[in-house]
Amino acid sequence: MKSFAHVNARSVDEAIQLLTKYNGRAKLNAGGTDLIGVLKDRILPGYPEAIINIKTIPGLGTLEKGEDSVSIGALTPLVNLIESPFIEKNYPLLQEAAKTVASPQVRNMATVGGNICQDTRCWYYRYPDQIGGIIECFRKGKKGCPAVAGDNRYHAIMGAAKCYAVCPSDIAVALIALGATLTIAGAEGSRTIPLEDFYTPLGNVLAPEEMIKAIRIRKPFPSTKQTFLKFTIRKPIDFAVVSVASNITIEQRICTRARIVLGAVAPTPVRAFAAEDFLKGKELCEEIAVEAAALALAGAKPLSKNAYKIEIAKTLVKEAILSKIK
């Protein structure tokens, strides 16, 4: 791997200062499970001058339980979400999502913040430099998306315009269903935004000198059922072909609140607003679920090889709606 300068940040402020100093030419490294691959394959036109290790920042790897919410430090390893009885009890869909990520080793290393910020797995974007050079595309500042006329079996079925790569994060899909917010640290101090506003068609809203500090989730509503479903070619290792997270409150058999989020179908995680609205005030049954699933995918426009993702997404939305309260 091509070398770089390496700095251990001792505080969030120091990390921000370093990011500011390198002005886009440095990358933060947490678990490394995404970044190291990006560096080894040299998939990006530029190569970072410096890697800033943020694992050396104390206090960012813990769960802090508050009165009406929990704050998850950005450096919390995914395995901690799986092993936490608190998460299991209050946010089972987040635990389920964490369990589906990659492999036990990756879950020991990868962090919540890193999972949210990871780069897309589009195989055109990720094509390794060593086999004839990287593939240029809109996401890399050039024109065109090679997936549109290429093999787009894993690409976006909705919400894409110039880049059809999908957001690969499972954790984000789960967290958006839980209404999570992000605390972002930057040169001007901290700001808080809903996670669902974090993603943009080509990545996220982080400025070059910003980093995620923590994720906050409010206390779950009572009599709420949470479900996370992920369709993959294989159970472990694989990124989602489609994932669905649902967070549905049912009072006296009637759905009073619903959040349904689809992953890996678009450049960003997608809230299925139409389906959510449709479910409100209804008693959930097969027929209603099928209709809601159709609404969730109403805007889908497949590319040449990914129409199957629509069918799968519909099935997952339906199953999520019909799942039992745990």
Partner 1 sequence: MTNYRFIGKSTQRKDALDIVTGKAKFINDFTLPDMLYGKVLRSPLPHANIKSIDVTEAKSFPGVKAVLTYKDVPDWMAGSAPQHVRILDSKVRYVGEAVALVAAETEDIGAEALRLIKVEYESLPAVYDVEEATQPDAPQLYEKFPRNILPQGIRVFGLHPLQEVVIGDIEKGLEDADFVIEGTCSYENIPNPMPPESPAVIAAWEGPDTLNVWLGSQGPHIVKVALEKWMGSINIRSVGYSVGASYGSKYMSWQYTMPAAALAQATGRPVKLSYGKAEHLAAFTVRLGSRIHGKVGIKKDGTVTFLSGDWLVNTGAFSEASQAMVAVGCGEAQLILRCPNWSFKPKVVCTNRTASGQVRGFGGQELKCALLPILALGMEKAGIDPVDFFKRNYVKPGEGYYWRDGEWWVCEGIDYTKAIEKGAETFGWKEKWKGWLKPTSVKGAKRRGVGVGIHGNADAGEDVSEAFVRLETNGTAIIYCGLPEHGTGQRTNICKMVAEILQIPLDRVSVTPADSLVNPVEIGPVGSRGTYAIGSAVIAAAEDAKEQLFEKVARNLKVKPEDLETLDGMVYVKGKPEARISWGKGMNYSGTCLGRGRFESDFSKPNFMMIFTEVEVDTTTGKIDLIRVVGATDVGQIIDPLCLTNQLDGCLGSAGIDSALFEEAVLDTRLGRIMNLNMIDYKWRTFAELPEMEHVILETPFSTHRFHAIGVGEITPSPGPPAVLMAVSNAIGVWMHDYPLTPDKVLSSLGKIAATKRGERA
Partner 2 sequence: MTRQEKKFSGVALEGKHRINLTVNGQLYELAIGRGAGKVNPSDTLSFTLRETLGLTGTKVSCDSGACGACTVLMDGRAVLSCMMLSIECDGKEVTTIEGLKDPKTGELDPLQQSFIDHTAFQCGFCTPGMIMSSKALLNDNPSPTEEEVKEALSGNFCRCITHYHVVDAVMDAAKKGVESK
Sites of contact with partner 1 (CB under 8 A): 1-3, 37, 41, 121, 123-124, 126-128, 130-133, 135, 146, 148-153, 231, 233-239, 241, 303-308, 310-312, 315-316
Q: In what order do the strands lie in the sheet with 5-8?
A: 5-8, 50-53, 26-29
Residue with Cβ nearer partner 1 (18 or 137): 137
Give min distance, CB of 57 to partner 1, in A: 29
Give min distance, CB of 49 to partner 1, in A: 15
Backbone angles phi, psi at 300, to 5 degrees: -75, 135
Cα-Cα-Cα-Cα torsion 123, 299, 240, 142, nearest 10 degrees, comes to 20
Answer left, alpha or beta for residue 286, where phi above 0 means left and psi between -120 and 50 means alpha: alpha
Q: Select from partner 2, partner 1, none the partner in contact with residue 117, using the beta carbon and a kind-dependent cut-off of 5 to 8 Å.
A: none
Q: How many CB atoms lie within 10 A of CB 78?
A: 28
Using CB under 8 A as the binding rule, whether residue 121 contacts partner 2 is answered as no
Q: Do the strands 270-271 and 224-231 form a parallel or antiparallel pair, or are they unpaired? A: unpaired
Give min distance, CB of 67 to partner 1, in A: 39
Using CB under 8 A as the binding rule, whether residue 50 contacts partner 2 is answered as yes
Backbone angles phi, psi at 271, to 5 degrees: -80, 135
Site string (56-85) toward partner 2, x via CB under 8 A:
x----------------------x------
Output the CA–CA distances (angstroms, integers) from residue 237 to 33, 34, 102, 110, 301, in the order listed: 12, 13, 4, 13, 28
In the list 205, 237, 285, 298, the residue contacting partner 2 (rule: CB under 8 A) is: 237
Give min distance, CB of 309 to partner 1, in A: 8
Question: Interior CA angle at 16 toward 15 and 20, to 5°?
Answer: 120
Three-state secondary-structure class, residue 230: strand
Residue with Cβ nearer partner 2 (126 or 162): 126
Output the CA–CA distances (angstroms, integers) from residue 87 to 24, 68, 144, 161, 174, in the order listed: 35, 14, 42, 36, 12
Asked if residue 272 lies in contact with residue 307, where contact means CB atoms within 8 angstroms, the answer is no
d(CA 187, CA 18): 10
Residue with Cβ nearer partner 2 (105 or 223): 105
Residue with Cβ nearer partner 1 (21 or 142): 142
Using CB under 8 A as the binding rule, whether residue 235 contacts partner 2 is answered as yes
Using CB under 8 A as the binding rule, whether residue 236 contacts partner 2 is answered as yes
d(CA 73, CA 50): 24
Give min distance, CB of 305 to partner 2, in A: 23
Backbone angles phi, psi at 314, to 5 degrees: -60, -45
Site string (8-47) toward partner 2, x via CB under 8 A:
x--------------------x--xx--xx-xxx------
Using CB under 8 A as the binding rule, whether residue 211 contacts partner 2 is answered as no
Give min distance, CB of 5 to partner 1, in A: 16
Residue with Cβ nearer partner 1 (61 or 146): 146
Q: Select from partner 1, partner 2, none the partner in contact with residue 7, using the beta carbon and a kind-dependent cut-off of 5 to 8 Å.
A: partner 2
Identify the residue whose tokens are 């409150």. 249
Q: Select from partner 1, partner 2, none the partner in contact with residue 324, using the beta carbon and a kind-dependent cut-off of 5 to 8 Å.
A: none
Interface stretch with partner 2, choices 6-14, 143-151, 223-231, 248-256 (CB under 8 A): 6-14
Q: Which residues make up the interface to partner 2 (CB under 8 A)?
A: 1-8, 29, 32-33, 36-37, 39-41, 49-51, 53, 55-56, 79, 102-106, 108-109, 235-237
